[in-house]
Amino acid sequence: MKKPFKSWLIASTVASMLAAPGIAQANADLEKLIQDSANWAISSGDYAATRYSKLSQINTKNVKNLQVAWTFSTGVLRGHEGGPLVVDDVIYIHSPFPNKVFALNQADQTIKWIYQPTQNADETIPVMCCDTVNRGLAYGDGKIYLLQADTTLVALDAKTGTRVWSVKNGDPKLGMTNTSAPFVVKDKVIVGISGGEFGVRGFLAAYNAKDGTLAWKGYSMGPDADTLIDPKETTSMGQPVGEDSSLKTWKGDQWKIGGGTTWGWYAYDSALGLVYYGSGNPSTWNPSQRPGDNKWSMSLWARNVDTGAVKWVYQMTPHDEWDYDGINEVVLVDQKMDGKDRKTIVHFDRNGFGYTLDRVSGELLVAEKFDKSVNWATHVDMTTGRPQVVSAYSTEQNGEDVNSEDICPAALGSKNQAPVAYSPRTKLFYIPGNHVCMDYEPFEVEYTAGQPYVGATLSMFPAGRDVITGEKDGTTNLGQFTAWDATTGSIKWSKSEPFSVWSGILATAGNVVFYGTLEGYLKAVDATTGEELYKFKTPSGIIGNVNTWKTDGKQYIGVLSGLGGWAGIGMAAGLEGDTEGLGAVGAYRSLENYTQLGGVFSVFALPN
């Protein structure tokens, strides 16, 4: 007999409490490593996903003297997203498909071990949307965790590279792939799934770090038993969501192929026992084929890390009509707002709005545009949490598919997956941005397992507007780097870039912020003013994340360069038509005049 959801939840909670002493011991090493700034032991820098380092040897006064210390080629082309892990002077880096893993000795840069999985390229690569990227590795309990493109989660012995265990997280034949970095919390390895453009139903899964067995799985949509939503206890905008809150917002059983995939980043609050993340766009991209709010795609989630039970969920873009995928990272910061000390999360969505929410209750506190060229909605209603859509920029006009023009931002968003950084020194967030608009024409599409389920043709182009005022000015920059105050929802300063800023950001106690550009520049700016202090042209475009660490008393900066990702898919995959690459090829065609493909790990330091 099937247990009622509430009984199951109570049983799971009790079991997790009984196991608590073992859980704490299982991952004490990772928590200790994260607290030591000499390491970069987790992809996000810390569990709060701030990407901030307390290291200050490199600072605003001397960063201009930065030099290349050494480089390492991965031997792989295509897009190099993610960044290095550094654990006790061993550097772990990864590549795009075929997902090589390298362990490098920091002292002499020799290769300690290499792991290269065997994957079915013919089965996997065709169902990888927007390049064959991988966003990184995870460390915990003496193991390195890799989430392969073919959805295999692998645990490797960190000292030898020997495979300890592996488990399949999905099925590429159904369009499922994986591109995100695993996330280790307590005794669990948390992963999501990719494939929203193939009708994959998104989920978050937790595997036991010891042996890879499944602990829990919570879907983005479907009945409450699938989503792990308690209709009376789970809230949205402060109210209980009610029974089968997802099912009521889909036509028939379309939720089974509804998207809402979870290929982004994750954060964790140990005091609350909650893991935070975002779910992606609904499938198909043609909105007229899926009437309703399509919950819980395009949402921010707070789940109990031990049981997967949902505490609260907030949908940012109901009935998404523009592919404003909601997977971007969630950053945990304690802030003073309206005279109150708040435990908040901050999220910069593809839809162009920066959100601040109370991470305990899910209360919406701030929702403002971080690029004023955004025109698809005027504002977010703070009572209902719903964006107020401008009808002229809707892609579903009177129930019919039309070519809607000059929608801002484009589908790749005012910001894509590249994570922000937060500095407690300046109390500002630093946003890698796109400044791109689009024409969007939906068309009828039928679902076939393992085949594209998109249903829209896109063209992209520069916004041609001022990022702060939103006024048309004819500018042709495709990128923006912005400093943001999340307590007020306001832009502190913003710098234009010729191409999108697609790298993850690093903020440091030296009051320096680092980022990379699609042309291949590593740049350093003053965290307070935005003044450019240093730049260096790496061998290829940078879509990787800038990380830092210290060994033998010396601070290092490291970044993967290797053009690709959605913005660089034209060059990475050899596409030529302006609307290919889901619309990105035409907008970024001139990149070929500035850089070429490559796969290089570059390490920087001050001279001796």
Which are the catalytic amino acids?
323
Distance CA 238, CA 281 (A): 23
The three-class DSSP label of residue 45 is coil
Q: SS3 letters for 123-185?
A: HHHHHCCCCCCCCCCEEECCEEEEECCCCEEEEEECCCCCEEEEEECCCHHHCCECCCCCEEE
Output Rg (C-alpha) for the chain, integer angstroms. 22
| Secondary structure letter of residue 194 according to DSSP | B
From the number of C-beta atoms within 10 Å of its C-beta (0-12, 13-18, 19+), residue 22 rates as exposed
Q: Largest alpha-carbon pair distance within the chain?
A: 70
Tell me if 80 sits within 8 A of 132, measured CB to CB: no
H or E stretch at 507: strand 506-508
Neighbours of 105 (CB within 10 A): 12
d(CA 347, CA 122): 36
Which residues fall within 8 angstroms of residue 15, CB to CB, at 6 or more apart? Answer: none
Dihedral, 559, 565, 567, 572 alpha carbons, nearest 10: 100
Of 241, 378, 372, which Cα lies nearest the Cα of 313? 241
Locate 181 and state its tokens: 């970095």
**Three-state SS string across 81-110, please?**
CCCCEEECCEEEEECCCCCCEEEEECCCCC
Query: How far from each other are the two terminal CA atoms of the chain, in whole angstroms?
Result: 70
Cβ atoms of 50 and 34 closer than 8 Å: no
d(CA 161, CA 112): 9
Residue-wise DSSP of 541-592: ---SB-EEEEETTEEEEEEEE---TTTTHHHHHT--STTTTTTHHHHTGGGG
What's the full length of the chain, in residues?
Answer: 608
State the pairing for strand pair 52-53/506-508. parallel
* Strand order across the beta sheet in which 310-315 lies: 239-240, 235-236, 310-315, 299-304, 274-278, 267-269
Whole-number Å distance between alpha carbons of 494 and 508? 19
